[in-house]
Structure 1
């Protein structure tokens, strides 16, 4: 496969597979992948399925529009619902698929994955607090290589950014340099 179409297990046709303990990395890459393919798919994942309804004058209720009465562009939008679900399914290993296959909509699937791997807002806030403490206390021991220290530091920053999109600190480089052992 040509290099430009294949980067570390992620082709341009298929999203990166969710790996155990790699949710934050996967979530960011998956979101970018979907948006780059079709922004409507991301809207379905975030906001729920496209749905068309008509008013039943007889019963004075709203009901789903029969497929035969839909316009071509509405039929295409309904197709986005299944395309979005298939995109997520293609990025999940069997164990994760079994967890979400009973969900009716793609939004439910996404929400289930978020709650399972990130937790609710209380859990997220606790994780942010723990990561912030880890960031503040970060240091590299004399026995540790700069590479392994940087990998650990970067994992903390990536996790923080994933949990708190508003998180920013302009002093990451200084923080890392101060953590280096004096040799």
Structure 2
């Protein structure tokens, strides 16, 4: 496809061209150098965005496999007695956040209960005592 010089474009085409460049620059400025190197040859902002989605989420088959793996991790999630609550919560939050990013319909109900059930028994008793003291 032959490219038309900017000077010969119609006003609406120039406006679209300007909006596309603005969107591309916004995306480029938000990306780390490694990601920029991956997309800098894209001609449109849509192409940049699509490349990033495929790179980080994969196609639908890869995406579904990731969702299945994360769902399994969520269901099996537990915190060992040697692990701190902070590190356990960080792991739990990473699973939930990843699920939400891959599946917009993913429900975030009952995460608090799931996290509390994942705590070792000795910690659960302490958490419940604190909760009762507040009520």
Asked if these proteins are the same fold (TM beyond 0.5), I'd say yes
Structure 1 runs (4+) greater than 3 angstroms displaced: 74-78
2:11 to 52, 70, 73: 70
Q: Secondary structure at the match of 1:88?
A: helix
What is the rounded CA distance, in whole Å, between the counterparts of 2:68 and 2:19 in structure 1? 38
> Counterparts of 2:36 and 2:81 in 1: how far apart (Å)?
43
Other structure's SS at 1:84 match: helix
CA RMSD after TM alignment: 1.4
Secondary structure of the residue that 2:82 maps to in structure 1? coil
Q: Distance in 2 between matches of 1:171 and 1:140?
A: 17
Which structure has the greater CA radius of gyration?
Answer: 2
Structure 2 runs not aligned, ≥5 long: 1-7, 123-135
Residue number among 59, 64, 79 corresponding to 1:120 in the alignment:
59
Question: Aligned partners of 1:181 and 1:141: how far apart in 2?
Answer: 6
TM-score, with structure 2 as normaliser: 0.79
Q: Unpaired runs of 5+ in structure 1?
A: 1-65
- Shift, 1:124, TM fit: 0.3
1:88 to 27, 34, 47: 27
Per-residue CA distance 1:62-88 (angstroms, 9 max, x = gap)? xxxx43x426xx644432110000001
The yes-or-no answer on 1:167 pairing with 2:127 is no
Select between 131-140 and 113-122 the one with higher mean Cα deviation.
113-122
- Alignment deviations for residues 86-108 of structure 1 (CA, whole Å, 9 cap, x no partner): 00110122221111111111111
Rounded to whole Å, the distance in 2 between the matches of 1:167 and 1:175 is 15
C-alpha change, 1:129 and 1:174, in structure 2 (3 Å) is same
User: Aligned residue pairs: how many?
Assistant: 115
Question: Which structure has greater helix proportion?
Answer: 2
